[in-house]
Amino acid sequence: MKIFILLSRFPYPLEKGDKLRAFHQVKELSKNHEIILCTLTDEKVEQSSIDILSKFCSVIEVIKLPKWKVYWNLLFQLLFTDKSLQVAYFYNSSAQKKIDNFILKYQPDHIYCQLIRVAEYVRKSKVKKTLDYMDALARGMERRVEDAPFYLKWFLKTETIRLKRYEHFIFEDFDNHVIISEQDRRLIVNVNNDNVVVVPNGVDYDTYKHKELTKEYDLIFTGNMAYPPNVDSVIYLVNNIMPLVWKEQPNIKLVIVGAQPSSKVLKLKSNRVIVTGWVEDISQYYSKSKIFVAPMQIGTGLQNKLLEAMAMKIPCITSELANNALGANHDEEILIGNSEIDYTHHIIRLMKDVNLQKEIAQKGYQFVKENYTWEGSTSVLENLITSTQ
């Protein structure tokens, strides 16, 4: 089968969740199908990244979105239309013509879109197609409104309304719909959201493999550190949780690992808080850390960071919000915090009990190994695509 995959970003390097998901889905689908990859980008794509994807794709088309056009379009759409800015950012008429021509040229059997950002380009196409919502964007934006500074509240509220409308509007234009978790499926605003199929992420178990290394850090948090839910989480961790932890164990060190740390994250640095920025091999930092802590307060979707940490046999502490998507059992495969006191208790408890660390870590590993593989999750997507003729 010839599958045309349309993405809002080139799926390499793997520093963002959408790129990670797309990369592994392309890799798995290419085992049985011909992949035509078409991606938008507002930044330079390195030839080395294209070479990596070329192993899995018969054709790769990269459409550059000039930044000035992007910002002009955003301003126009904000002031004169009711279109979601998530969609407006990635849409322009010249890209539309190119995508139309690519579809005409390559004659795919199926079109697969990741995120509603690019759905506008193919919603009128007569080719059978599948939309990956990935997560409930509108609900994620709505959660950000609650804690946003006053000068951003109007903007975020407006975008929330537009996203909800567009998530609903675009639904009927696609034959199939998939999403990353059951929690997110329930949050999609459509009376037919029971028809949305859950396709979770997996873990690259060759990369995220347990290694016995000397522990240099007590606690670790990972993720793209420009992403607002991650920024919110580490600020909450350092400013609200760690002072309570340090009262009992003042020498505990936290490492924050991830690309593009914002100015707010960089300000958290101290002799007990290390902020690394981009690292070549994040698995090394997992292996050198005792406990993974992710007190996610906002956002949607399945946290790849939890899957990776559990795959590497690190005991994990997270929020109920994050675990609702994951589905692990509290006090067995994971520890769940609902307050600063909860998180402090879990951290101190694990720091004092190495056997408990190992027990939670082993059960967490078994849980992700049984439930989260790229082969298994992509087979659900593949079956959906191939059954739509």
| pLDDT higher than threshold 90 for residue 82 | no
Of 68-72, 124-128, 225-229, 373-377, minimum mean pLDDT range:
68-72
Of 86-95, 190-199, 222-231, minimum mean pLDDT range:
190-199
Domains 2-202+374-386 and 217-371 share a fold: yes
3-state secondary structure of 281: coil
Where exactly are the structural domains of the chain? Answer: 2-202+374-386, 217-371
| pLDDT higher than threshold 90 for residue 77 | no
| Chain segment 154-194, per-residue pLDDT in tens | 989 999 999 999 998 999 999 999 999 999 999 887 768 88
Handedness of CA 207, 212, 214, 219 (dihedral sign): positive
pLDDT at 300: 80
Residue 273, φ and ψ in degrees, nearest 5: -130, 115
Helix or strand (DSSP H, E) at 19: helix 17-29
The class (CATH top level) of 2-202+374-386 is alpha beta
Of 80-89, 276-285, 323-332, 342-351, minimum mean pLDDT range:
80-89
| Chain segment 320-356, per-residue pLDDT in tens | 999 999 999 999 999 999 999 999 999 999 999 999 9
Furthest-apart CA atoms within the chain: distance in Å: 66
3-state secondary structure of 309: helix
Tokens of 272: 């007990």
- Contacting residues for 79 by C-beta, under 8 A, at least 6 apart: none
Q: Shortest CA distance to 61 belongs to which of 17, 110, 100? A: 100
Fold of domain 217-371? Rossmann fold (3.40.50)
| pLDDT higher than threshold 90 for residue 20 | yes
H helices of 30-181, where?
Answer: 47-54, 67-80, 85-90, 93-106, 119-122, 137-147, 150-169
